[in-house]
A and B are shown apart, each in its own frame.
Chain A
């Protein structure tokens, strides 16, 4: 079942390849479109705020909207995500508010994670979206473990975890896929192959023909799919999710896509990447491609796009305005959640800080990369 072929559904003219259209309802198709668009606008706003010095850092998923929205759409609300940091469409798809998302950027008192992490390291319990960390790949073996736990408990929950081409080089890629294979854990491993790990290109990451090929050694199917084709990603992941739910074990899905932006707000990809490569991928923009498909189906009129974009932008801007009006988390929250109950040492350190007199120093600088 391992393949180096690339499954594509939406053709250049916007039509679906014969016999491959998953035939989603008009409502589902509009929802996919709106979510991808919202993820992109959110990213544009996030980077702009960083450039304006209003937030400290940002990580975009520009160009990868079909990859994560299409895969996530194959999951039930009760299923869990162990994300990396380039899937902003998933919380949107799961109904997390822009306020919750934007407050995390500001690390203010409305942030669900209490200002504990850099921007874009979300945690949304209500969306079964597990807290994001920066070390690469650690979520992969965790998803395998959660899948093992669900099997032990007899739950039919499915787990989806995300990582990039760089992530396949991590220890946890190996141990996570190996454990999931041995224990037949209900996990879909989504490798978003965006061709770049900061400045290191794909060929610097692996000598393998594909990432999907790596599945073979772990005893699971590996499937390669056009990551800029939301319907193809959805279809492949839907099958993988169903296999997992039936107890048939994990799947590795490689979504072939491209990181259109820089690694982060601290990076400048033009310094190590040639413009030609970028331009060729720009022609394959996942949102425009899906819009051609929707147009063919008479579900989308390009004349309506600006109003749709303006509407989403207005909602996000309102959320930003509200987030900027909120204060930082209270001083004592610094000592909360280290443990369920603070130790005597933590209480003493908190009291020591609270007892300090004079103005607070705010001399901490900016993220320097």
Chain B
């Protein structure tokens, strides 16, 4: 197995799928000649030609609108939205069209497309290059939402997303693009959607985290261990469909639960996880379910380090579950 960064794992997955299925086409702003502003599509145009990997006009609405038409016609489009913060002009096409196509046509037409987009903060990107808006998409029936946290999962989940028969929002933790390196299996590597993973085993408290929050929580877990608390980390990997059982199983074992996400706290996806735990595992809880999240402010620039959940805040959250 090779050591790869998270972004190299994205490229690896795209190569793998483009090579084995000529319905897969990759497009978006600057993805062709330049290979993407982050380099995720580097080398694809050289390898598969300008018909299968190409630059589009600068229009998110157009990128997703055309992607929906391609998918309906039988292709497997993989569209890149340069930053998740720029996706809003395409919201109508995602929410009203891609997500509804199968349902509204009684299954006559389907929309198997993947929308890849880097999301999240911690890169000094300010308000328009840092948002974590996964909750909008999780709230839309008909969309799958995938957020990998490791290079290996990035490859395996992206391959599964491209082969999926339904539209998938594939949100890449850009903070981890180059900062995270790990073993990535060569060739075929498929990680099914809807199956979470135990990122760290523990016995005293469950911390649920996804994407770029996983490495932060891992660091916090080390600290907690020094303080005598054993943390179990659950990485759901896909938010829709969600592996509820894995989370509940862990909470039933530990009796405590913290949810960490970098989106604004109110109505964030962590609130959904907290609700599920309250609904289905309340008898096992020995303390409140605690959310450690971004604040309900627009994403800041200079004070970004205070906005983002960090080790200090995760530890504080863990502590609160014991103080009750």
Contacts and interface: CB of A to CB of B under 8 A. Distances in A.
B127 interface: no
A250 to B, nearest CB: 13
A340 B102 contact: yes
Contacts of B69: 82, 141-149
Interface in B14-35: 25
B51 interface: yes
B65 A339 contact: no
Nearest to A141: B65
A127 to B, nearest CB: 10
A123 B241 contact: no
Contacts of B107: 114, 336-337
B142 A114 contact: no
A152 B106 contact: no
B72 interface: yes
Most B Cβ at <10 Å: residue of A82, A147, A152: A152
Identify the interface centre among A144, A148, A174, A345: most chain B CB within 10 Å of its CB.
Answer: A148
B226 interface: no
Nearest to B97: A138
Contacts of B110: 340
Interface in A272-293: none
Nearest to A336: B107
A337 B103 contact: yes
B108 A142 contact: no
Contact of B72 (A113, A116, A146): A146
A112 B108 CA distance: 8
Interface stretch (A176-184, A188-196, A234-242, A316-324): A176-184
Contacts of B103: 116, 337-338
Interface residues of B, number: 46
A125 B108 CA distance: 6
B109 A141 contact: no
Q: Is the interface of B mostly helix, strand, loop or mixed?
A: mixed
Interface in B73-99: 73-75, 77, 89, 92-93, 96-97
A122 to B, nearest CB: 9
A117 B104 contact: yes
B52 interface: yes
Contacts, number: 154
Q: In the complex, which of the residues A142, A144, A148 has the most CB atoms of chain B within 10 Å of its own CB atom?
A: A142
B27 to A, nearest CB: 9
Interface in A229-254: none
Contact of B66 (A116, A142, A150): A142
Contacts of A142: 65-66, 68-69, 72, 97
Nearest to A134: B96
A149 B57 contact: no
B67 interface: yes
B144 interface: yes
A363 to B, nearest CB: 23
A172 B65 contact: yes
A152 B68 contact: no
Given A138-B92, A145-B67, A145-B70, A123 B106 contact: yes
A154 to B, nearest CB: 10
Given A133-B96, A145-B69, A178 B57 contact: yes
B248 to A, nearest CB: 12
Contact of A149 (B56, B74, B92, B242): B74
Interchain residue pairs A-B with the least CB separation, the first 6:
A141-B65, A145-B69, A145-B66, A175-B62, A142-B69, A131-B105
29 contacts: A113-B106, A113-B108, A116-B106, A117-B104, A121-B104, A123-B105, A123-B106, A123-B108, A125-B109, A133-B104, A138-B92, A141-B61, A141-B93, A142-B69, A144-B65, A144-B66, A144-B69, A145-B68, A149-B69, A151-B51, A152-B75, A172-B61, A175-B66, A176-B66, A179-B57, A339-B102, A343-B241, A343-B242, A344-B241
Interface of A: 80, 82, 111-114, 116-117, 121, 123-125, 130-131, 133, 135, 138, 140-153, 171-172, 174-176, 178-179, 182, 336-340, 343-345
